Amino acid sequence: GAVVSQHPSWVICKSGTSVKIECRSLDFQATTMFWYRQFPKQSLMLMATSNEGSKATYEQGVEKDKFLINHASLTLSTLTVTSAHPEDSSFYICSARVGQVNSPLHFGNGTRLTVT
């Protein structure tokens, strides 16, 4: 089956630094990837849609200058949390589809970000 790989699985950083999270589609090409954020005991919240070769589309309330998304190839999208603060601590998850618009989402295993 389709595999989406995320790296790192967890990261701890100091307040004010930047952190990059990678999302790779291992056995398929993904022109579109989706980035979610999940706080403890809460549901997944869509942050942005990452489009290969073009700018990402951010959901309302998500700061595009803080959460930089780059989708430079058909198998790699990156999310950079810039100038991280403790309130950015969360579980970040990427996903992608194989094929057509209504095909199921395949999720990475997530990245636990802790900002101290």
In angstroms, rounded to a whole number, what is the distance separating the alpha carbons of residues 26 and 11?
Answer: 22
38 vs 70, beta carbon nearer other proteins: 38
Q: What is the DSSP string of 25-91?
A: ESSS--SEEEEEEE-TTS--EEEEEEETTS--EEPTT--TTTEEEEEEETTEEEEEE-S--GGG-EE
95 binds other proteins (CB under 8 A): yes
62 binds other proteins (CB under 8 A): no
CB atoms within 10 A of CB 34: 22
In angstroms, rounded to a whole number, what is the distance separating the alpha carbons of residues 35 and 37?
Answer: 7
54 binds other proteins (CB under 8 A): no
45 binds other proteins (CB under 8 A): yes
6 vs 77, beta carbon nearer other proteins: 6
Number of residues that bind other proteins (CB under 8 A): 20
Stretch that binds other proteins, among 14-22, 41-49, 63-71, 75-83 (CB under 8 A): 41-49
Binding site for other proteins (CB under 8 A): 4, 6, 34, 36, 43-46, 91, 93, 95, 102, 104-110, 112
